[in-house]
Amino acid sequence: MKRPITKEDPYNVCFVCLGNICRSPTAEGIFQHLVNERKLSPYFFIDSAGTSAYHIDEPANSKSQWTADQHGIKLHSRARRFEATDLDEFDLILAMDQENLRNLRKLSRNGQHTEKIKLIRNFDPQPEDGEVPDPYYGGMNGFQNVFNVLKRSCESLLDELEGLIEK
């Protein structure tokens, strides 16, 4: 994670959950919003993906979109599956929970990419159990909770990465 970030060599971040319709597109949208607010978009490429192929090409879940909209954030991504080739493309791959972390690490040839695969809650100043809960089973409160967790985590992550930018 510790490498200089320049416009010529942007930092590539991928957020990963199971289906890529709730948690990871929310994280992608929040992180992109924060990057845009700080006028740092030339320094980052931001994406999201799922470890399953359940929802390929679908937009973010309507409850995730509604929750993000309430905070002035748009979720533009379409669901895609995380592929083994993504391990070479991204500087940082952030799983939402332990199951997805394990699935990502299984894709890594001989463990060579494990240092770039982390839990997003590693960056949360209030990490609690270390996982971003699946909002599906918590009603609208679940989606708001996920948004709050991801916003804190993304702010902390960007604070750390901003220190690596060479302007």
Identify the DSSP state of 155: H
Q: What does the alpha-carbon distance between residue 25 and residue 43 come to, in Å, rounded to a whole number? A: 20
Any catalytic annotation for residue 14? no
Q: Of the listed 22, 23, 97, 154, which one is catalytic?
A: 23
The residue among 100, 22, 89 whose CA lies nearest residue 60 is 22
Any catalytic annotation for residue 154? no
Q: Of the listed 17, 86, 97, 121, which one is catalytic?
A: 17
Around Cβ 63, how many Cβ atoms within 10 Å?
18
Any catalytic annotation for residue 23? yes
Q: Of the listed 78, 81, 91, 134, which one is catalytic?
A: 134
The residue among 21, 12, 13 whose CA lies nearest residue 79 is 21
| Strand partners for 42 | none
User: Catalytic amino acids?
Assistant: 17, 23, 134
